Chain A
């Protein structure tokens, strides 16, 4: 089983609909992130959370919101989806306090298409 699990893996929706992407992890990491990936633009940070009570905006947070329900769960919401939010979304975790490099561990991605 994957350590970082995203649901749904694929979703097609219509403009104006509310969408939630969920992420759960079994790695015990405090830090969680949401990125989106678009061709030619790489991964861009949407929101991040360093613990349950901490939420921070990334470089492209407009049109998105997040909820950190527990250490293991971090959800991304699109309140009113629009076509330019069509992208591949990745959740990631890290924990630099364990003496390792603090690299990100990614979920398998959620492909969202907004018509």
Chain B
């Protein structure tokens, strides 16, 4: 099974940087995903890591350390539209995806 932990809430100022940490314990690992979910909407895919290191995608970056069971999502140059819930998810050896409870990020002007 999976045990995925991430902070419940974070607040940051427009234009700033926020880092959302995710730790996991898994019986088999086949990739880590980050999703963004605005209130009342479906989650949308942000990033994927399967090897250690940093993946950069515009203002968003994601990092993975498999030996530490650790990932983070870095959001740079925050905009008001980035206010959302960010979901960390781990895919196991059977290709099932398990999600953390999500981190609600509030961006203040």
Contacts and interface: CB of A to CB of B under 8 A. Distances in A.
Bound pair: A and B? Answer: yes
Interface of A: 31, 33, 35, 40-45, 48, 50, 58-59, 90, 94, 96, 101-109
Contacts of A103: 33, 45, 48
Given A43-B43, A48-B96, A50-B95, 19 more contacts: A33-B97, A41-B101, A42-B102, A44-B99, A45-B96, A45-B97, A59-B98, A90-B42, A94-B95, A101-B33, A101-B45, A102-B95, A103-B33, A103-B48, A106-B43, A106-B44, A107-B42, A108-B41, A108-B42
Nearest to B6: A42
Bin the interface of chain B by size: 20 to 34
A111 B97 CA distance: 21
B101 A102 contact: no
A42 B101 contact: yes
B45 A42 contact: no
Given A103-B33, A109-B42, A42 B95 contact: no
B64 interface: no
5 contacts: A42-B99, A42-B100, A43-B99, A103-B33, A104-B97
Contacts of B97: 33, 45, 94, 104
Nearest to A109: B42
The listed residue with most B CB atoms (<10 A of its CB), out of A33, A104, A109, is A104
Contacts of B40: 109
Contacts of B7: none
Top 5 A-B pairs, shortest CB-CB distance: A106-B42, A42-B101, A101-B48, A43-B99, A103-B45
Contacts of B44: 106
Contacts of B31: 101-102
A40 to B, nearest CB: 6
A58 B98 CA distance: 10
A94 B87 CA distance: 17
Contacts of B101: 40-42
Interface string B33-55: 10000001111110010000000
Given A41-B101, A42-B102, A58 B43 contact: no
